[in-house]
Amino acid sequence: MSNTKPNVLVLRAPGTNCDVETAYAFELAGAHAERIHINRLLEDPALPDRFQILCFPGGFSFGDDVASGRILAATIHHHLTETIQRFRDAKKLVLGICNGFQILIKSGILIPEDGHGLRATLTWNKSGVYTDRWARLAADGDKCVFLRGVKELYLPVAHAEGRFAARSEEVLDELEKAGCLALRYVSEDNPNGAARDVAGVCDETGRVFGLMPHPERHIDATQHPRWTRLAPGARPKNPETAGDGFILFKNAVDYFQ
């Protein structure tokens, strides 16, 4: 156990636009966060060694050309696989939010490929359009480090390619049995038609986690879209009262303390 602040590497690329608020959320939770460009990591693959948490934030990396997160995912897959694997093997944490989730999935970091390629992906919403709203979520099991002690969340979603899909029902069964389908939309609040209402997935260790909703956009209770309409007793008593998303960052920091 240590009282030293864990160091967080918030990885950004051209088009990333949620790195500042994500770094702030980690800082608020008690970590020290640095926003670092992907080019610096390519120049020095040993750079992550001094960090305990690696975060891929939201946005539109490389303009989401080809497909959301695909270019950065390919860059990581071809040049940084060993770096990320070494980071994971050291029992450190990896988080991907929205575009970051897409990167984790499409690079094979979160769900490893098999002889036929990717076993799951994130594809276009069933509506065929960009969706920007809030959604109710429920944690499924306690495997995921980031979701420890969490039962329900209310977080914003903002994506066009957020629908979780697997190659087959057998793949979904395997992931579910392993406890990897860690976060689900409440069925009637599924904004994209994701298979089995999946909103977030962790690896078999519970230390690598990706989710489509944006926890960094609800770290303060006053960011709730209806906080002024809550019953007086349920309203935040001061502006420092935490929003639902804050617990993910706090759990990550507490993991190292």
List the catalytic residue out of 98, 144, 180, 202: 98
Q: State how far the Cα of 115 lies from the Cα of 129, in Å rounded to an integer.
A: 32
The one catalytic residue among 55, 144, 180, 214: 214
Burial of 66 (0-12, 13-18, 19+ CB in 10 A): exposed
Active site residue 144: no
Sequential DSSP letters for 137-190: EEE-SS--GGGTT--EEEEEEEESS-EEEES-HHHHHHHHHTT---EEE-GGG-
112: amino acid identity, one letter: P
53 contacts: CB under 8 Å, gap ≥ 6: 6, 7, 8, 9, 26, 31, 92, 93, 94, 95, 252
Q: Which of 180, 216, 218, 224 is catalytic?
A: 216
214 tagged catalytic: yes
Residues belonging to the active site:
98, 214, 216
